[in-house]
Chains A and B, each alone.
Chain A
Amino acid sequence: AQSVTQPDIHITVSEGASLELRCNYSYGATPYLFWYVQSPGQGLQLLLKYFSGDTLVQGIKGFEAEFKRSQSSFNLRKPSVHWSDAAEYFCAVGRGYGGSQGNLIFGKGTKLSVKP
């Protein structure tokens, strides 16, 4: 069965430091991969997505993610974190039901805290 693992429950980084959030997936075929962000009291917002092609994907707010098939990973990165990036981040994988149903499997999330 498909699954998504985010190994880090909580990460704290200093403002201006670089960030990498880890995501590993379990899926037999080429997955559809997503990163969402959830700020306190808000719904989820899509940061970026990967379907095919270039394995380095650029997203909004200066985020990028790299798909590595050999490692079954889709890690999220940002070169310099801002205090406003403090939020919870969710990795998700599409279940590949022939495109007729938008069913995503989400990881448990990584909460990011930013120190001034």
Chain B
Amino acid sequence: ETGVTQTPRHLVMGMTNKKSLKCEQHLGHNAMYWYKQSAKKPLELMFVYNFKEQTENNSVPSRFSPECPNSSHLFLHLHTLQPEDSALYLCASSLGGSETDTQYFGPGTRLTVL
């Protein structure tokens, strides 16, 4: 049990669909992250939330919309995605938002955009 869960684990969607990815952490952490992992590319940080406030948006297209209602839950809302958005989306959490805080990752959601 990693302490960070993600649902769904797999998602296939068309370009006109709207879907949401969910992340939940049971570690009592205050910071949460969304990463994108594409084949043959480095892991890309998308968003950072610290105490429910967004502290980083790494130039992510507006078709990705994050939501952090509380420190335990993080959502990524998806709409009008492109095939190149197909990737593994990883959620992580850490005690605080410092680089020295260990990030704990969930297993990811494998997204395929048709």
Q: Which residues of A contact B (CB under 8 A)?
A: 4, 32, 36, 41-46, 49, 51, 90, 92, 94-97, 99-109
A102–B40 CB distance below 8 A: no
Q: Quick one: closest A residue to B9, CB to CB?
A: A41
Rounded to whole angstroms, the CA-CA distance of A48 and B94 in the bound complex is 15
Known A101-B56, A102-B31; judge A43-B98 contact (CB<8 A). Answer: no
Contacts of B31 in A (CB 8 A): 102
A51–B100 CB distance below 8 A: yes
Rounded to whole angstroms, the CA-CA distance of A36 and B90 in the bound complex is 14
Contacts of A44 in B (CB 8 A): 43, 90, 92, 103, 105
Rounded to whole angstroms, the CA-CA distance of A95 and B106 in the bound complex is 22
B94–A102 CB distance below 8 A: yes
B99–A99 CB distance below 8 A: yes
A43–B106 CB distance below 8 A: yes
Rounded to whole angstroms, the CA-CA distance of A99 and B45 in the bound complex is 16
